[in-house]
Each structure stands twice: as C-alpha cells, then as structure tokens.
Amino acid sequence: MNLKLKRDGLKAIDGHVLKSFPRECCGLLLGKFGENVIEVEEVVGADNVLGSPVAFEADAELVFKTIKRAEKSGLELVGIYHSHPKIAAYVSARDSEMMKLWQGFAWLIVSAAKERVVERKAYMPKDGEIGELEIAVM
C-alpha cells in the first residue's frame, strides 16, 4: 500500500515539523482511499494542544471542522501526521495506543533534528496490526 503525497504538501509538513521543533507537531491528511493507494490532496496543520516534545493531541474542534469541510469538497480524512523531534520515526508505545482509535488511517511520522528532517515513515493500523506504507511523492 502506498501513501501518495504531493511535493508541496510534503513541504508544508516539513515546514510545520521544523517550526515546531523541539515540540511535536501534528496535522491532518485529507484525500481519497484508492485501491492499494491513499492519495493525499490536502495537508492541514493542527495545534498540538499538549505543546509537548514527546506527545501530541490535535485540537478537537479543528479536527471536527476540517472533516466537515473535507466532506463538502468530496475529500475525506485519510490520515494524520506528527513529528518525532530527536528520535526516529518509529511507532512509540503512545502511538500504538492511539492507533487503536485510528484504525484504517495512514499515520505519517516525521523524525527531525534541529534544522532538518531526518526520516519519514508511514504506517497503517488495521485489524489490530500495524503495517508499513510506502511513501510516494508526486
């Protein structure tokens, strides 16, 4: 399964990640679920209401409003992204707990150092298992 991102969407995510460093940032991925592919059409940065270097929680009202707006333009919520300042883009214990509530969505994790993105990984929790997604940039 592929997670397809547009170049400018990826740039927006990287910018948000670096601007928020050393705190974690998070955001929403809007697009469409296809056959073996998740196409991201729009990236929406969210405030990390926890303001933490090791945890994130998106502003609930923004999430609600964004999903409503996406529906009107024929898109749906397909995933979320968050950053891992100073640590690798692995699924943390906290992530894996949260993934139980976000089954069937793409999870993009971006690892960052002070001034650069180190790595990006994408996962898909489904049916109680966590698979890895291939990231493709259009």
Residue with the shortest CB distance to Zn ion:
95
Do residues 110 and 16 touch, judged by C-beta distance below 8 A?
no
Residues 24, 71, 115, 129: which is the catalytic one? Answer: 24
Do residues 90 and 118 touch, judged by C-beta distance below 8 A?
no
Question: At closest approach, how far in Å is the CB of 135 from Zn ion?
Answer: 16
CA 76 remoteness from chain centre: 14
Nearer to Zn ion, 48 or 66 (CB): 48
24 is catalytic: yes
Nearer to Zn ion, 4 or 84 (CB): 84
Which of 23, 64, 36, 41 lies closest to 124, judged by CA?
A: 36
Torsion sign across C-alpha atoms 105, 30, 42, 25: negative
Q: Which residues bind Zn ion (CB under 5 A)?
A: 92, 95
Nearer to Zn ion, 39 or 85 (CB): 85
Question: At closest approach, how far in Å is the CB of 86 from Zn ion?
Answer: 12
Nearer to Zn ion, 78 or 108 (CB): 108
Question: At closest approach, how far in Å is the CB of 29 from Zn ion?
Answer: 15
Tokens of 9: 């969407």
**Would you tell me how many other CB atoms lie within 10 Å of the CB of residue 46?**
22
| Residue 90: HSE in the Cβ half-sphere, 13 Å Cα cutoff | 5
Question: At closest approach, how far in Å is the CB of 70 from Zn ion?
Answer: 23
Residues with a known catalytic role: 24
